[in-house]
Amino acid sequence: MEENFSSDIWILDSGASNHFCRSMEGLTDVRDIDESIKIGNGDTMRATKVGNLKCEVTQLDGKKFIVSINDVKFVPNLCVTLFSLNKALKKGFIISNEANIVSLTLKHLRLTFD
């Protein structure tokens, strides 16, 4: 891709094995790694760090709240930031949708992706 998405926009990805970010902003408890990541077109990229991310989420209705996402892998050459649907489901989130709006719900937390 010629353009990058803003690093504060997360894309829900049913094929992502992990959460992946392209900015280290907000990462804590960072550890060095050297891991090959296979991307959608079959190419590979390197994940060089992993850490926990605490960030503010703004939903479609304008509501804002803070979330913590564990084990986010930093891939500096990514053009997008990916939220792994598989990891969320393994953590107990329930998936639902209304038309093209997908929601993940766990207890009182509801994340919405358009």
Q: What is the DSSP letter of 5?
A: P
What is the predicted pLDDT for the residue at 88? 95
Count of other CB atoms within 10 angstroms of residue 93: 17
Tens-digit pLDDT string for the chain (114 aa): 445 667 678 899 999 999 999 999 999 999 999 999 998 888 899 999 999 999 888 888 888 888 899 999 999 988 888 999 999 999 999 999 999 999 999 998 888 998
- Dump pLDDT digits (tens) for 26-37: 999 999 999 999
Assign 14 to helix, strand or coil: coil
Query: Which stretches does DSSP call E strand in the chain?
Result: 10-13, 19-21, 27-38, 44-58, 64-74, 81-84, 94-98, 101-106, 109-113
What is the predicted pLDDT for the residue at 7? 67
Query: The domain 10-113: what is its CATH number?
Result: 2.40.70
